[in-house]
Each structure stands twice: as C-alpha cells, then as structure tokens.
Structure 1
Amino acid sequence: MAKNTLLLYGRMFITMLISLYTSRVVLKALGVEDYGIYNVVGGVVSMFSMLSSSMIVSTQRFISYELGRSEENKLNKIFCTSINIHALISVIIVLLLETIGLWFLYYKLVIPTERISCAFWVFQISILTTIISFTSFPYNAIIIAHERMSIFALMSILETVLKLGIAISLSNINNYDILLVYSIMIASVQLLMRFLYSQYCNKNFKEASYHLIFDKALFKDMLGFAGWNMFASSATVLSNQGTNILLNMFFGPVVNAARGIAVQVQNTLTQFSSSFQTALNPQIVKLYAANEEDKMKTLVLKSCKFTYILLFIISLPLLVETKTILQVWLGDIPDYTIIFVRIMIVTIIVEMTARPLTMAVEATKKIRNYKIITSGVMLMVLPISYVTLKTGMDAHIVLLIQLFLSVISYFFRLHITQRLILISLSLFMKKVCIPCLLITIPSFSISFGIHLYLPSSFYHVFIVIIIAIFVSITSSFLWGLDANERCFIFNKLKKI
C-alpha cells in the first residue's frame, strides 16, 4: 500500500503541476468568455456522464471482493457484465443529452448569440468524449483492483502531458475557431487513452477479454449496486453543475469562469487525496471479503485521518495566500475567484475525509439507505440556492450553502457507518476528529498570524508558504500521529 501510494502521489504531483499550467494556457488562449462557455457546456454533459462513472466503483468493488475471497472464476463474468451495463447506460445518456441537454443549452444557459453555434458543436463533441471515457471505465477498474498503480500513474501522466501539448498548440491556430478545435483535440486524447488501457488489460489480465455473456443474477446485482451509486453521483453532479447553471442564469459566463478556476483547484486537491485512497480502497474491500473486519476498521479510521492530514498540509498555504498564488498562476484573476477557491478548498476537505466511510459501506454492499440519505441532503443545495439568489444574495452564497450541506451529510455518513460496520462515534472522535483539530488550530493560527504580521513584499508569499507547510507537518507529527505511527516513520527515515 505504501509503494502504491508513493506511485500515485508521484503521478499526482506531476499531473497537478502540468494541469495548473495547462489551465493558465487554455484560459489565455480561449479568453474568459470562451473558457466560461466551455466550462458551462461541459458541465451540462457532466451532469449526465457522472451517472455512468459510478460503474467504475461497482466494477472495482466486485473484482476486489472476488480477489479477497480468492475466487477467480467470476472475474471474467464481472468484466463482461460491466461492459454490457456500460453499453446500456451509454445509450440512455446519449438520449438524455440530445433531448434535455440540448433544451438546457438553447433555452436556459446564458451564451452570447454569436457563440451559440460553436457551443452546440462543443456540446456534441463533449458527448462523444464522454462516451469514449465510459468505455474505459471497466479497464480502469481492473487495473485498480489488481493494484497496478504504476501503470495507472503512467497513463494519467501521459494523458496530462498530451493535454498540455494541446493547450500550447492553441496559440498557433489562426484560421479556425479555437474553442471548437480544442474540444476536438481533447476528444482525440480520450480515444487514444481508451485504446492504450484496453491493450494493456487484454495482455495482462485474462479476465479482461470480452465476449457476449448474460448472467441474470450478476447483472441484477451489479446494476443494483451501480444504480445506487449512480443515484449518489447524480446528486453530486446536480449539486455541483446545477449550481454552475444557476450562477450562469443569475450572473453570466464570467462568474462561470471564476467557478471553473475554483473547480480546477478543487479537482487537483481531489486527485491529491484520491491518490492515497485509491491505494487503500481495494484493501478495504479485500479485508471485508476475508472476514478481517477489525483490520478493516483500523484501516478506515487511519484513512480518514491521513486523508485530512495530507489535504490540510497542501491546502493551508492555498487558504492563507490565495490571492498571490492565483496572481502567479493566472495573471488576471476573474471576479469572485478568490472567495470561490477558499470555500471550495474547505468543502473538498470535508467531502474527501468522508470517502473512506463510503468505501467501508460499499464493501458491505448495503448502500441503499446510505446513498438515499446523503444524496438527499446534497440535492437540497439547488432549491436553497435558487431561493437565496432570488432574494438578491451574492454569488458566493451558493458555495457556502454547499459547504454547510457537506458538513450535515458528514454526520449522516458517520451515523450509518456506525450501524453497518460498528465503528463507534467515540472511537471516531478519538482517532480522527481530535487529532485533526489539534493539527488545524495551531497551524492555521500561526500561518494566518504571520501572513497578517509580515509586510507585503516579493518574499512575503514564499516565507508564509514555507512556514505554513512546516507548522502543519510539525503539528501533524506531534499531535496527529499516535506512538506507533511516529515509530514507523522514524524507522523508515533511518533506513533511508
């Protein structure tokens, strides 16, 4: 797990740096208005595409479970069944996008008249890109379930580098619509990655060979599991992209550009914590399948705590020096970007530290009530946001509502997890909440205090960032880790 985590963090750091620079290049090449159009049009597609992305979770869970039980006979059936379900969902998604999606595009989104034709073709290309991505999900799931994180990391780095190459090449496009060309090239990258994933899996995993098969019981089991995950994914997408559409309706595409930048930061932090969790998730399921529930509980608690620690260390400098970092990254900062970024950083910390609880529940396969309750809470962001915006509130209130509902959802997650895998609330407070508070309070107080105390200068931001990282790491080591974890780190440092 440690080896896989390091591989995924190496992947994350490389892709994060490239992605951040790519965003700057794309924003400059497209301009604020076209960047906002691409963000909001792509958001409409994402509202539907995330319905299918939950299948990767389903496929990975079923494969990991059979690997934990050492049952290899069902692996090919699981893979073929996942392909069949993806094909079915793809047809449904295309129908929805070409009807409801187009209606949204023409009648609800605020897009300049002269750009509506381009937005239509960007929308169609985004649908194609999404379908290509769908067909890669079963292969991704097999690689993760088998814990081949080196291949997963290399593929991700290659995809990010190709997207950077596309961004740089935009400056050389003169006779064509840059936004349209950018969409076509992104679709081409997805097609190439789909080919590479399938070739690797076909050569290395015997269960990755597709043939037409229909196991009614397995199909129903996987579709039911995926169905509840799709319900949860749709709630997440509606709360995220629905707010994006609301902001477009009330404030126009410039605010969408600000939110798009904030989402880029949010996605980068998500990748950071997902790198750690991706390495642990198969182990959580395998331990449950092997009836080693005590080890699974320990792993879940440690995963929650370490996810928070790792996210907090990288997020603290961003929270304290948001304005300066955005100026260095983007140059010109669209309105609302600073407040959007700060709120979304806190939101993603809350949501990602709850992910290990979700994986523990999914290992049991008893996910119906969990998904209904947590998704219902998150869907409340749309009616509440609409009412508040109607009363004349500012744009950032939408993101504050989303943060508040994420906290409420966290309490429900704890309660349900407590009943299913018997992790007591007192144990969670002792092992996760109290250490995280002991890290946060002194680290934030010292970092923000120094930020206010030091006079503005060229070196100000570097000093504050270094101090923020140092105090957060020190606090994590002193108060976030227990004696065994500190001893483990000391021993590893001695070997190094």
Structure 2
Amino acid sequence: MSLTSENNKRIAKNTGMLYVRMLLMMCVTLYTSRVVLEALGVEDYGINNVVAGFVSILGFYTSSLSNAAQRYLSLGLGQNNHEMTVAGFRQCFTLMLVISVLIFFLGETIGLWFVCNKLVIPPERLSAAIWLYQFALISMTCSINQVSFVAVIIAREKMNFYAYLGLLEAFSRLAVAYVLIIARSDLLILFGALTAISSVLSFSLYVWYCRKSFDECVCKMYWNAPLVKEMSGFIGYNLFGCFAWSAGIQGVNILLNLFFGPLVNAARAVAVQISAAVSRFTDSIMTAVKPPIIKSYSSGNVKYMIMLIEKSSKYSFMLACLIVFPVLFETELVLHLWLGKVPEYAVVFTRLVLCEQLVGVLVPPLWIAANATGNIKNSQVFGRLFTLSVLPISYFLLFYIKNPALPMILLVIAQIGYWLYNLYDIHRQVQLDLSHYFRRVILPSTLLVSIVYLIGEILQSSFSPSLLRLIVMGCCMLLAVVFVFLIMSEPSERDFVRKMIKKKF
C-alpha cells in the first residue's frame, strides 16, 4: 500500500472520528445555549457575551502560539527528529506559562478598569459582571497553557482522545446548564464559576494524558535562545494576525455594546452560536488535514500538499453549504424552535454571520499552507488588515448609520478580501495553479451554491413555513451536495468514498 493511500485513509479515519465528536458537541452546545439563555435572561446573556468577548481580546495571542506549537511539533515529527520535537514542546510550554502570567496581570489591571468604567453594564449587575470577568480570566489562563498539549495530540494525530475529551467538555457544559435550572443564587456568577471549574478539569486531563503518552511532553522550564529567535518571527507575525482577527471579531461585540447596549449583544451571541455550530463541521476536516499538510511540505512533497489544500477546501465548502443554506432560508423557524423567544436582531445577525462563515471555510487550508512554509507575513499582517479595518470603519459609520447589522456586513466583505489575498499569496509561495484551483474548488462551489439557492427559492415559494419544509429543504440540499460531488469529483475520489462505505457497511 502506498504512503499516500495510507495518509488518505488516516485522514479519513481521523475526520470521521472528529465528526462524531462534532455532531454530539453541536447538539449539546445548541441545547445548553437555549437553557443558559432562558436561565440568565436576555440582559445577563448579553453581559456574558460582551465580557467573555473582551477576555478573548486579552487572549488574542493564544491562537498564534497554538499555530507555532503545532507547526514546530509537526515539522519535528515529519522529519523524525525527536530532539527537535522535544525542544519545540518545552519551548512552547515555557512561553505559554510566562505569557499567561503576564496576561493575567494585564487582565487584573487595565482589563478590569475597562470592564468597570467603559463597558455598558447596568449598575445593579456590575458586581456580577466583575465576578464573571474573574472566572473568565481563570478559564482563559487554562486555555492558554492547554495549547501546547493540544498541539501535541493534533501533531501526533491522536484524534480518539481529542474526540473523547471534547465530548467530556460538551457534557460538562450540559451539567452546568442543568445546575443553572435548579440553582437559586446569582446565576451569572454561578455560570462563570462552573465554567472555570470545567476549564480547569479539561486542562488537567490534557496534561495527564500527554505526560503519560508522549516522551516529548516534559513540563519543565526551558529557554533555547536560537529556537526562540527562530520562533519569534513566526509567532510575531501570527500574533499580529490573531490580534487583528480578535480585534475585528470581538471588537464588534464591544462596539455593539457601546452603541446599542447588552440586549443587542444577546442577539449577537445567538448568531455566533449558530456560526460556531457550522464551523465545527469544517474544523473537523481542518484538524485532520493540518498535520499532513505541514508534514508533506516538511518532507518535500509539495504536490501532495496542494492536493490536500484543494480537496479540503472543496469538501469543507460542500459540508458548510449543507448546513448554512437550510438555516439561511429558515432562520426564523430555526431560531424559534431552538430558543422559543428570539432576541431582536438575532435573525439578521444569524444570516450575516453564516454568510461570513461560508466564505471563511475556504481560508484555513490556505493559511495552514502558509504556516507550513513559515512565510506568514503576508497572510497574517497584510491579509488581516482586511479584518482589522472593520473596527475603525464600523466605529465611524455607526455615528451616522444607526444599524447594528452594519459591522457584520463589513465582516463579510473583509472575509472575502482575506480569502482572495491568501489565495494569491499561496499561489506565489508554492506555485498553486490558480486555474486548477478554479476548476477543482471555485467551480464546484459556485455550481453547488446556484443549485441549493434555486432549491431554497422553489421550496419557499411552494410551501408555507413549517418544520416539514425545513426537513424537505435539508434533504434536497443533501441530494444537491451528493450530485455535485458525483459530477465534479475525480474518479479516484469517488472510488475512495465507495471503498470506505463498503468497509463500514
């Protein structure tokens, strides 16, 4: 059996495992979101959204460090260099620990001042918001220090434990929601405390598993000046990119709070939950293909890397369409079935974040390729200026256009610009053939969008809104995805899927 065939089977197996994890997590998350919204109320739910979003801005660098950790670990494993792998883990572990302490200090000083003096929070809920903020800082600290251990698991492609622990995290959130139903204390404070406990438990399990399973997971302080210098350029560019993304995305939450108050934040939080559910579908593919993309570049197999970029882009978009378009056409019904009482602006916010998500699924394969080459300056600095520009432009326009949907419209436009810029950048770096990308990714995606949009319009004009129409629309979308796959996929892809189905059934 060829190495490429073995890699494809391993990717398919890991993707399947991650999809089981994702489906269960999505169901649990959507249910708990409804319970938490009902328990907290719209105002407290909005306060939780804006406070948690502000803490996310403080921890904007987490993603950049995660990318660095996964890259250096995958490179070491791809080159079978155990010494490089150990050094990469220990250096990332040390950096995470030091920076988490610094950011915790920053959060307890400047961050706390901002929450108390700048965010729009009703005076009677300020004390609860401060407690929530403290617990959110604890959760963020755990998430930061967890990054090195998650990176090892993904680089090692041990998706079974990753899936199991993800399910445990989901069911812990379910337990938190249940406690909120029966509790009689201040539910906003209780929610923050229980979430922090869940984060500490998750972090502890990641540390235990990695130290037990992988030799490179040595949890000791380590400083290798040449390695830090090499990593600093990569991390620095990634750091700016993550800051720009966090400022653009989470900054929208703060702008909505400043201009419209916490009730609009609640609508934004609902929309983000829907978007997160969609992203879990595509994230499963990205998590599975990220190590092979980096390892294939490390071993000099650029042709295979480009093939993975194109296929993961195409399949991610197909899966996103399968979820996005039924919800786009039936947003009011879906939110009503999910929440019962739908916050104002939640419908339009949901549609806009889904459009942003649909474009966004085409980006990760491209920036994973940039991470593999190490040339991320264009993607993370110049490319992320599209996202960062949303914040000042929105701030200026909201003084004249009092429409809370405006920042999200700009985010959709910024996402399109970011995707096209990344596509051109990877074309220059690894000679990705744009005409081939058009035939293998853009053409099938455009065909699928045209078909599912036509199906949605026909069903909407033929049937009145109902659960039955939603189910029929979902089934038709599935048939459309299968149809496009059959006519636009290569014979080897169809043969691979056929063999996988036969093997399972």
**TM above 0.5, one fold?**
yes
| Whole-Å separation in 1 of the counterparts to 2:402 and 2:486 | 43
Q: Counterpart in 2 of 1:69?
A: 79
Structure 1 residues 361 and 458: alpha-carbon distance in aligned structure 2, compared to 1, 3 A threshold: closer
2:150 corresponds, among 113, 132, 140, to 140
Structure 1 residues 305 and 458: alpha-carbon distance in aligned structure 2, compared to 1, 3 A threshold: closer
| Whole-Å separation in 1 of the counterparts to 2:368 and 2:466 | 46
1:215 corresponds, among 196, 199, 224, to 224
2:355 paired with 1:346: yes
Q: Give runs of aligned pairs for residues 77-92 of structure 1, distance below 5 A.
A: 77-92=87-102
Q: Give runs of aligned pairs for residues 118-197 of structure 1, distance below 5 A.
A: 118-174=128-184, 176-197=185-206
Helix, strand or coil at the partner of 1:334: coil
1:409 corresponds, among 397, 401, 418, to 418
2:451 paired with 1:442: yes
| Whole-Å separation in 2 of the counterparts to 1:212 and 1:237 | 29
Structure 1 residues 494 and 421: alpha-carbon distance in aligned structure 2, compared to 1, 3 A threshold: same
| Whole-Å separation in 2 of the counterparts to 1:357 and 1:456 | 39
| Conserved 8 A contact 2:459-2:469 | no
Provide Cα deviations, 1:20-68, integer angstroms capped at 9, x if missing partner: 0000000011000000001101111001113123212111110111111
2:252 paired with 1:243: yes
For 2:320, the aligned partner's letter is L
For 1:314, the aligned partner's letter is I
| Conserved 8 A contact 1:316-1:469 | no
| Whole-Å separation in 1 of the counterparts to 2:280 and 2:235 | 22
Q: Give runs of aligned pairs for residues 326-405 of structure 1, distance below 5 A.
A: 326-405=335-414
For 2:18, the aligned partner's letter is L
Comparing 25-34 with 450-459, which one deviates more in the overlay? 450-459
| Conserved 8 A contact 2:427-2:434 | yes
CA shift, 1:213, in A, is 2.4
Q: Give runs of aligned pairs for residues 11-26 of structure 1, distance below 5 A.
A: 11-26=21-36
| Whole-Å separation in 1 of the counterparts to 2:252 and 2:385 | 16
Q: Counterpart in 1 of 2:4?
A: none
2:98 paired with 1:93: no
| Whole-Å separation in 1 of the counterparts to 2:416 and 2:221 | 44
2:499 paired with 1:485: no
1:314 corresponds, among 323, 327, 336, to 323
Structure 1 residues 364 and 190: alpha-carbon distance in aligned structure 2, compared to 1, 3 A threshold: same
CA shift, 1:285, in A, is 0.5
- Structure 1's unaligned 5+ residue stretches are none
- Structure 2's unaligned 5+ residue stretches are 1-10
| Whole-Å separation in 1 of the counterparts to 2:163 and 2:255 | 36
CA shift, 1:458, in A, is 5.1
2:302 paired with 1:293: yes
Q: Counterpart in 1 of 2:20?
A: 10
Q: Counterpart in 2 of 1:460?
A: 469
1:324 corresponds, among 333, 340, 345, to 333
| Conserved 8 A contact 1:303-1:356 | yes
Structure 1 residues 480 and 245: alpha-carbon distance in aligned structure 2, compared to 1, 3 A threshold: farther
| Conserved 8 A contact 2:149-2:206 | yes
Comparing 246-255 with 368-377, which one deviates more in the overlay? 368-377
Structure 1 residues 458 and 233: alpha-carbon distance in aligned structure 2, compared to 1, 3 A threshold: closer
| Whole-Å separation in 2 of the counterparts to 1:469 and 1:318 | 13
Provide Cα deviations, 1:169-208, integer angstroms capped at 9, x if missing partner: 112111x211101100110011111111111111110111
| Conserved 8 A contact 2:78-2:299 | yes
| Whole-Å separation in 2 of the counterparts to 1:347 and 1:301 | 20
| Whole-Å separation in 1 of the counterparts to 2:237 and 2:363 | 17
2:14 paired with 1:43: no
CA shift, 1:117, in A, is 1.1
CA shift, 1:354, in A, is 0.9
CA shift, 1:265, in A, is 1.1
Structure 1 residues 494 and 192: alpha-carbon distance in aligned structure 2, compared to 1, 3 A threshold: closer
For 1:251, the aligned partner's letter is F
Q: Counterpart in 2 of 1:476?
A: 484
2:207 paired with 1:198: yes
Structure 1 residues 456 and 418: alpha-carbon distance in aligned structure 2, compared to 1, 3 A threshold: closer
For 1:187, the aligned partner's letter is A
For 1:317, the aligned partner's letter is P
2:286 paired with 1:277: yes
| Whole-Å separation in 2 of the counterparts to 1:2 and 1:150 | 13
| Conserved 8 A contact 1:439-1:479 | no
For 2:360, the aligned partner's letter is E
CA shift, 1:464, in A, is 2.5
| Whole-Å separation in 2 of the counterparts to 1:457 and 1:353 | 32
CA RMSD of aligned residues (A): 1.4
| Conserved 8 A contact 2:180-2:187 | yes
| Conserved 8 A contact 2:455-2:473 | no
| Whole-Å separation in 1 of the counterparts to 2:142 and 2:354 | 30
For 1:17, the aligned partner's letter is C
Q: Counterpart in 1 of 2:70?
A: 60
For 1:204, the aligned partner's letter is S
Aligned length: 494
Comparing 377-386 with 423-432, which one deviates more in the overlay? 423-432
| Conserved 8 A contact 1:276-1:307 | yes
| Conserved 8 A contact 2:362-2:419 | no
Comparing 28-37 with 442-451, which one deviates more in the overlay? 442-451
| Whole-Å separation in 1 of the counterparts to 2:327 and 2:365 | 24
Overall identity of the aligned pairs, in %? 35
Q: Counterpart in 2 of 1:228?
A: 237
CA shift, 1:457, in A, is 4.4
| Conserved 8 A contact 1:248-1:256 | yes
Helix, strand or coil at the partner of 2:61: helix
| Conserved 8 A contact 1:438-1:479 | no
| Whole-Å separation in 1 of the counterparts to 2:257 and 2:465 | 35
| Whole-Å separation in 1 of the counterparts to 2:466 and 2:171 | 34
Helix, strand or coil at the partner of 1:135: helix
Comparing 215-224 with 279-288, which one deviates more in the overlay? 215-224
CA shift, 1:280, in A, is 0.4
Structure 1 residues 172 and 419: alpha-carbon distance in aligned structure 2, compared to 1, 3 A threshold: same
Structure 1 residues 337 and 346: alpha-carbon distance in aligned structure 2, compared to 1, 3 A threshold: same
| Conserved 8 A contact 1:18-1:160 | yes
CA shift, 1:482, in A, is 2.6
| Whole-Å separation in 1 of the counterparts to 2:392 and 2:63 | 25
For 1:449, the aligned partner's letter is I
| Conserved 8 A contact 2:333-2:465 | no
Helix, strand or coil at the partner of 1:136: helix
| Whole-Å separation in 1 of the counterparts to 2:387 and 2:466 | 42
Q: Counterpart in 1 of 2:5?
A: none
